Structures are given as C-alpha cells and as structure tokens.
Amino acid sequence: MRIAMISEHASPLAARGGPAGKGLGGKGLGGADGGGQNVFVAELATELGRQGHSVTVYTRRDGPALPRRVRLAPGATVEHVPAGPPEHIAKDDLLPWMHDFGTYLERRWAADPPDVVHAHFWMSGLAAIQAAQAAGARRVPVVQTYHALGAVKRRHQGGRDTSPASRVRLERAIGRAADTVIATCSDEIGELTAMGVDPDRLQVVPCGVDLGLFAARGRAAPPDAGGPHRIVVLSRLVERKGVDTAIRTLARLPGAELAVAGGPPRGGLDRDPEVRRLRGVARDAGVAGRVEFLGRLGRDEVPPLLRSASLVVTLPWYEPFGMVPVEAMACGVPVVASAVGGHLDTVVDGVTGTLVPPRDAEAAAGAIRALLDDPARRAAMGHAAVGRARRRYSWTRVAADTTEVYEHAAALGEVAA
C-alpha cells in the first residue's frame, strides 16, 4: 500500500539519533511536546516500510534548514510541510496553520493520492480530512489515531489545560468523519463512544516496542545487593505525569534512590520551571539527597537505564497508552504504574507489575516497598514481563494489525464511493 501518515507536531526524526534528528526545535524526545508519539510514528512507519509498503510521513517544517524530504528508513520518507513560520511553535498554538497544512496535502495528492492516510493527533486529522475530501481528488480513506483526547485532558487539568477551546468539538467532528478510528487501549474505546464515534468504526491497536533495542540482555538480577535500591522514572516533565508523586514515595522508602530521566538536556535543568518545582517537592519531603535528575536522554541511553533499575515507576494522572511500561517490561524490569488508560492493558497487575491509584503516594510507596522487599517476586515479574512484551507488543505485530485496519478502511471507502 501507499500510506500517508500525518504527524503535524511530532516528527519521527526526533526518535532517531544522528543528523536526521537534529535541529528539531521543541520536538526532541523528553521535551514538552516530544515523546511517545514521535517514537510511535517513527517505529510504525519503519516497520510498515520493512513489510513492503511505501510510507510518507508529513510533519510541519519547524526549522529553516530542514530539507524538504528525508529518508527515515527503507520504504519510509519524512516530508516537511511549510505550514506557518519555519520555527518551533508549541503544539497547542498550531491550530491556525492546519488549513495551510491541509492545502499543501491537497496539492500533493491531487494527481496521485495515497491508498490510505493515517492521521496522528487531532490537528493532523483536520489536515488529513480536508485533503482527503478535496473536490476533484479520488477519495482517500482516513484512519485517525488521537494519541490523547481533549476531553480527558480537560477533565484532569481543568483550567491548566492549554489546548485550544475548540479542541473537544473538533475532535468529535474528526471522529465522525474518519473512516476508522484506532484506539491504542481498551479504556479509550469508552471515551470515543461517548464522543459519538460509531463503535463499528473503532479498532484497538496498541503501541509497540523495539525488541532489538529494549531487551533484558541477560539481566539476572537488579543491582541492589549491598547498596540502595534504584527506582527509575522516565517521563516528559509535565505536571500530569505524576513525577512529584514518585518523589514523595521516597519519604516512605528509606533504602531507595530515584533517578528521573526526561525534560531538558542536563545542562538546562537548573533553568527549567518544572525541574525547579520537583526539586522543591523533594526538599519538602526531605529526600532531595536521594533524587537525581538526569535530563533528556538519547534513545540508545534508555534501555541501559531501565535495566539498571530495581523497579520502573510511572504514575501519571491519566495516560492514553504509556510506552514506558512496555519498554521496561521488555527489559525485564517490573513496573509500578497508576491504574489509568493504557496501563490497564499493558501491566498485568500482580504478574508483570503492580497497579496503584493515581496521585496516591502512600499507595504507590506500599506497592514499591512490597516489591523491593521480595527479590524473588520481582524476578518472576521481570520474566513474565519480557514474555508479555515479546508476545503482544512487537512492532511486527502492531504494523500487521494496523495494515488490516488500513485495508478495512479502504474497503469501506470503496463501498461508500
């Protein structure tokens, strides 16, 4: 198939090391707008190319020196779209430029449209639907993945939500216009149905994990004999990710240290407002000496960090999918995660990790302490976690499942035509 992916703010190049990932403004992994979606799009496009499809990922040009097209992998190319000024713009401020994005796609597809378009994030859906429905063009089926829903964000963040006021209304319209909507977890199905999306057009396909990069590699036991237990948090440093909850657990875990990866590069930590807030939380909890901020890591630095942990902890208020638990599981490390969103699918409570209520440091500390005190149970969980990650979350399987959705959407489009 000839597949067009739209990822307006999350460039897949940010998930790649080397020159291809340079100069991406705020899109770097671990930044405020860089994270799981970049990795998702990069890995899915790469695997689809490996399986014989031709993929073009359209992302906004946010730097003047970026080339028009960049090869991502065999069969997969990134094309930079001139929509708005060629500079970093926060994703919540990109809505005014989505019509220009869609107009660019209309011109590109007028004579030679793709077989299917897969929009990632709601604003990408606006551009995709505009172009797919353009007069004179062969109708292109649209598959939509939201990655996060405005209604859920507003429910949890209230007045701190910086999304455009029209987001929820437009997400509802996109869901009704798309041929198929892919949810990344079971919990999202209920949210989409409540938005008015036809349940018959909903499919669940999870995110995947690079099993070549994220692997146990002979990890026999966590490195806690004779020293403090190491707990690892890997996260974008935004309040809703619950890093402050993880820090507060240390007050109840005297034999543990916490390593926090994410946020700005290490040299910019002192200037980052969220890092300063989290350091204040650590001081107030009396654990400042046991919390280390590592800053933004390269993709190849993440697996060794995860393998160094006794436990990986991820405690967001809500989480559309959450790739960190699956990456940790693939490395053979059990997870303590908040019982929200995609975690309810990926973490098998009591088997590959432990689920706890969000924003509850006492409950999280109890779950962490129980696992730290039981190395045999942790080892068993780590073994089970590797098996689950390899069986369910390989990109080979995820890409094959996604292709089935594309084929179904294309068949529906032919019937509608």
Domain boundaries of the chain, sorted by first residue? 2-208+395-416, 229-392
Residue with tokens 């962490």: 368
Q: Is 160 exposed, middle or buried (0-12, 13-18, 19+ CB in 10 A)?
A: exposed
138-162 residue pLDDT tens = 679 999 999 999 899 899 888 888 9
Intrachain domains 2-208+395-416 and 229-392 with the same fold? yes
Mean confidence (pLDDT) of the chain: 91
Provide CB contacts within 8 A for 324, sequence distance 6+: 234, 235, 312, 314, 335
pTM above 0.75, yes or no: yes
Q: What residues form DSSP beta bridges with 71?
A: 77
51-104 residue pLDDT tens = 999 999 999 999 999 999 999 999 999 999 999 999 999 999 999 999 999 999
CA dihedral sign, ordered 290, 312, 269, 250: negative
Quote the pLDDT of residue 158.
86
Cα dihedral 382/387/393/395 (nearest 10): 110
pLDDT band per the 50, 70, 90 thresholds, residue 416? low
Class of domain 2-208+395-416: alpha beta
The pLDDT of residue 109 is above 80: yes
**What is the spatial order of strands in the sheet that 229-234 belongs to?**
291-295, 256-261, 229-234, 311-314, 335-338, 353-356
Quote the pLDDT of residue 254.
94
| Token pair listed for 136 | 């004179």
> Whose CA is closest to 107, among 128, 84, 131, 133?
131
CA distance 114 to 109: 7
Class of domain 229-392: alpha beta
The pLDDT of residue 137 is above 60: no
